[in-house]
Structures are given as C-alpha cells and as structure tokens.
Amino acid sequence: MEFTAATIAGFLKGEIEGNPDTVVNSVAKIEEGHKGALSFLANPKYEHYIYTTGSSVVLVNKNFVPSSKVAATLIRVENAYEAFASLLRLVDQARPRKKGIHPTAVIEPTAKIGAEVYIGPYSYIGENCLVEDNCSIYPHTYIGDNTRVGKNCTLYSGVKIYHDCVIGEGCIIHAGTVIGSDGFGFAPQSETEFMKIPQLGNVVLEDHVEIGANVAIDRATMGSTIIHKGVKLDNLIQIGHNVEVGENTVMAGQTGIAGSSKIGKNCMFGGQVGISGHLKIADGIKIGAQSGVPGDVKEANSILLGTPAINHRDFFRSSVIFRKLPEFVTRINNLEKDVETLKKK
C-alpha cells in the first residue's frame, strides 16, 4: 500500500512542510528510517534522529521547532504519537482477514456460529456456545461449554476459555492465555492436607478488553471475576478469583492480583506489581514497577512506589535516606568509638 504525504495529512488533519507528493509504503522507527518510510517524533530525546533519518515523511507535534534543516517531509499534528497509532490501526484494518471454518475444527451441534467467522484448524467450540459475527478463532483454540464470544473478537492460537465464561464485543486475547481456570481455593484439613473448594463461578470480559499472551484469569468461586470495559492487560499477568478490574485500567507484565481484590477505574500498574487479596484500590491509582500493595488504597489518583507501597513523595524521601545508610552506619560506629574513648578518660 502506498500513500502520499497529502493523503496522510488529510486523514490526520495535519499541516504539511515539504513535498505533499512524497510517497510512503512502510513505517519505521525514526532512528531506522529509510526511503519510503513513515516515522514519528514525539519524545524530545529522539530529536537528533530527525536531522539524519532516511524516512521520507515524519509526523511531528505542531509546536516542534527544528534546530537545523530537516530533509524529510514533515506533517504537523496535535499529538504525533497518537496520530501515528491511528495510522497503524488503519494499516492493520486493511490487511486481508481470514474467513471460513477449517475442516479439522470441531464444533458441537448445539453451538451457534455467526456470520463472517473464521475458525482455524484443530479448534474446539463446546456445547451451547455462541460465537457472534466477525470473530476470528485461530488454530488450537478451546472454547468450553456455554461460553459466549461477542462480535468482532480475535482469539489467537492456543487460547483456552473454560466453560460458562462471557467475552464481550471487540475483545482481543493473545496466544496461550487461559480464561476461567479454577481459582486458588483450598481449605486446610490438617497441617499437611488441603481440600479443594469447587470454583463454581465464571469470568466476564466486557467490551474492548485486550489480554496479552500467557495470561491467567481465574474463575470466581461464586459469582464472576470481572474485567470491565476497555481494560488492557500485558503478557504474563495473573488475575485471581473474584477479582474486579475497573474500566480502562492498564497493567504491565507479570503483575499479580490476589483473589477478591477490587481495582478501580483508570488505574495504571507497572510491571511486577503485586496486590494482596481482598483489597480495594481507588480510581486513578498509579503503582510503580515491582511495588507490593498489602492494604487498601483509598485516596483516588495517588501514585505509589515500593514494597510495601507508599506515596511516591515519601518513597523518594526514603530512598535518599536509604542510599545514605552506609554513611550513617560508619558515622555511628565512629561516634561509638569516640564515646568509648571518652568513657575511658
């Protein structure tokens, strides 16, 4: 596919500086630019690349002021990163989409399959399932009995969805993810034995949720584990039984949420964040990577860091003291020696 700078600017409502007839047919990072490529500049620390890039067209913010001549054609937009993302979506949507049901797929007679659905080789669709219009089910995917998959969903290879789960419209679930596996529920019977507690609930993903690769979302003991509308989960995340994740919350890789915790709307968790069980996390909370949260977070829009996680301002003050601990120990040891010397005198 080829586009001129004028076509791109028209789509983005941007302003062109340079040749409007410049043609691009690929995308590239600005530091790896080549002829015919479209790149973007949003982060000032990459500005030096714009003067040497081989890309033909570069998206920049409207307030960008170059310090020397730029060979590429520029398109000025309100937000270069968002504009570039919208172009990538446009290219992605233009790709040819697989259709049809492969003869090796197994679909139980009571399952209902919508229009324009792709079901790849060796996939399984269970009893009383509903797969709605325009879904793509890639090879080796398992959908358990009584599960509903809404319109325009994409389930990549090896996804496993256990029985009775609900997947909303426009969801994307990446390879190897398991939805609806048993929650970690065991009752102690003695010091050495545990009895399994049956997990009778399900998992509900609302609309436009995206789940990364190799994520596990456990079914509820009773009721539902709920991932609300617009949530985005990175790879290798564990969501425990009866957890509720609020709308438009995002979590980076290796985050773990223990059972029955309630996460608010519009939260942002860095990588390897750990949330203890039965907690309530307010709306708009930001938690830095590798932080551990042992208690409720009640103040909305707080920023937390560390283990146990504390307010980011307190964390930074504490980290200054922590770095000076070796110096403090040396000073204390010297003071103790001085005190001993004085005692002897």
Q: Which residues are catalytic?
A: 241
Residues in the chain, total? 345
Q: Please write down the HEC assignment for all residues of the chain.
A: CCEEHHHHHHHHCCEEECCCCCEECEECCHHHCCCCEEEEECCHHHHHHHHCCCCCEEEEECCCCCCCCCCCEEEEECCHHHHHHHHHHHHHHHCCCCCEECCCCEECCCCEECCCCEECCCCEECCCCEECCCCEECCCCEECCCCEECCCCEECCCCEECCCCEECCCCEECCCCEEEECCCCEEECCCCCEEECCCCCEEEECCCCEECCCCEEECCCCCEEEECCCCEECCCCEECCCCEECCCCEECCCCEECCCCEECCCCEECCCCEECCCCEECCCCEECCCCEECCCECCCCCEEECCCCEEHHHHHHHHHHHHCHHHHHHHHHHHHHHHHHHHHC
